[in-house]
Structure 1
Amino acid sequence: MACGSCCASSNKETSADPTWRRALWIALGVNAAMFAAEIVAGVAGGSEALQADALDFLGDSANYAISLGVAGTALAWRARAALLKGATLAILGIYVLAAALWAVWHGGTPQAGIMGVVGVIALVANAGVALMLYRYRTGDANMRSVWICSRNDAIGNVAVVLAAAGVFGTGTAWPDLIVAGIMAVLGISGGVQIIMQARSEIVPNGRGYTVAAE
């Protein structure tokens, strides 16, 4: 996805806002629960798209946990955390893309019913998290990374539901594999966006890197 304008913020008070931390705790709980449910459903239903979405939930759980750990700290730690999260998101995207390509030759046809039901549940969960975090979409790299993850998840869930309909209608695995590929590209693109903004908040000082003055 194309990266829109990044509005970096170095406001420590905003990242330490109790409302922000509470939103992160809720998002962490939702994503951890959905990872457990979706990985089981993805394996049982033979769906690469569901398994890709489950890995995304796992990555986001780690994302929210890291964000909670650095909330309220100096911009240096928040920028470094964003770099880590961006790299993790991109790596997960590469893994999902490789798994989808492997399944082209070795996978079977997934169960459309399981895909559809679980996809709708995941969409409701992610849409709720995205709406809750929408107000923080223009914060610093750490805050924006959380918003990007939740936004990408909601888009991915819509695609999973459409893939379920496609599998049901065609009787083939292609809709599932195509959606898994799209989700992988979203993950890679989102990771690159996060890394780019985090790097923009870091400047060389001749002895490695440090963060621009807050």
Structure 2
Amino acid sequence: MAECGCEPAPADTKAQQRTLWIALALNATMFVAETTAGVIADSTGLIADGLDMLADAAAYGIALAAVGRSGRFKANAAMGSGLLLLLLGIGVVVDVVRRLISGASPEGAWMIAVAAVALTVNAIVLRLLSKQRQKEVHIRATWIFTRADVVANTAVILSGIAVLATGIRYFDLVVGAAIGIYVVKEALEILSEAREARSATRRSAS
């Protein structure tokens, strides 16, 4: 995505800040809720989803710092978000391998209930961010984060239903691995757009 170097109007800046603060608060809350529930229910999917919420909260914080700053700063903020998401995705995949070797069967009912709440939260945040996502690269990055979360939440719900119906824990592990891989894909997309925006700011400065 090209960066024009234009600064947003004060009204746009305040709207971005308000949206990002709401997203930050909701994701931080859901990080605590999902990871706690994941540990209690022994669910890789919930833990992965909760850690994804933590990464999102950090990304929203980075985006908040970028609001009203230069195009270069925003591109660098998006780059930082992408690197954070990449590390998270790799970590989730590693945890899936660990749980595959030694892990108990998760609680399907917990997975469904908690992931349903997370899905509702992310749908709200996605709608808020959709009004801003075409404007600047750092906001686009947060929109991509949240879009990934909606997919992940839905996958956890479906795997919870499968675990509840069959008692087979591998559904949870498959979803956990899929979330990790999907997170890596989204991270690479953010990094690609951030590099493009950074190049655009260099061209405009020269």
TM range (shorter): over 0.9
Please name the residue that 1:55 is paired with. Answer: 51
Match of 2:175 among 176, 179, 187: 179
14 and 38 in structure 1: CA distance in 2 versus 1, 3 angstrom threshold: farther
Please name the residue that 1:213 is paired with. Answer: 204
Please name the residue that 1:146 is paired with. Answer: 142
- In the TM superposition, residue 107 of structure 1 has moved relative to its aligned partner by 1.1
- In the TM superposition, residue 14 of structure 1 has moved relative to its aligned partner by 5.7
Please name the residue that 2:41 is paired with. Answer: 45
- Work out whether residues 9 and 139 of structure 1, in 8 Å CA contact, stay in contact via their aligned partners in 2: no
- State whether structure 2 residue 83 is matched by structure 1 residue 87: yes
171 and 137 in structure 1: CA distance in 2 versus 1, 3 angstrom threshold: same
Please name the residue that 1:3 is paired with. Answer: none
Letter of the aligned partner of 1:213 in structure 2? S
Q: Deviations over 1:91-150 (max 9, x none)?
A: 100000111122112111000111111011111011110111112232332111010001
- Work out whether residues 201 and 212 of structure 1, in 8 Å CA contact, stay in contact via their aligned partners in 2: no
Superposed counterparts of 1:5-16, under 5 Å: 6=1, 8=3, 10-13=5-8
Superposed counterparts of 1:1-214, under 5 Å: 6=1, 8=3, 10-13=5-8, 17-203=13-199, 211-213=202-204
- In the TM superposition, residue 203 of structure 1 has moved relative to its aligned partner by 3.2
From the two aligned structures, give the one with the greater helix fraction. Answer: 2
- Work out whether residues 3 and 71 of structure 2, in 8 Å CA contact, stay in contact via their aligned partners in 1: no
104 and 83 in structure 1: CA distance in 2 versus 1, 3 angstrom threshold: same
- In the TM superposition, residue 36 of structure 1 has moved relative to its aligned partner by 0.8
SS of 2:69's equivalent in the other structure is coil
Report the RMSD for the aligned CA atoms in angstroms.
1.8
Q: Deviations over 1:9-56 (max 9, x none)?
A: 543216952111100000000001111111110000000000001101
- Distance in 2, matches of 1:86 and 1:131, equals 21
- Work out whether residues 118 and 153 of structure 2, in 8 Å CA contact, stay in contact via their aligned partners in 1: yes
- Distance in 1, matches of 2:9 and 2:55, equals 24
TM-score (norm: length of structure 2): 0.93
- In the TM superposition, residue 182 of structure 1 has moved relative to its aligned partner by 1.1
- Work out whether residues 2 and 196 of structure 2, in 8 Å CA contact, stay in contact via their aligned partners in 1: no
- Work out whether residues 38 and 53 of structure 1, in 8 Å CA contact, stay in contact via their aligned partners in 2: yes
- Distance in 1, matches of 2:180 and 2:148, equals 10
107 and 96 in structure 1: CA distance in 2 versus 1, 3 angstrom threshold: same
Structure 1, unaligned stretches of length 5 or more? 1-5, 205-209
Of all paired residues, the percent bearing the same amino acid is 33
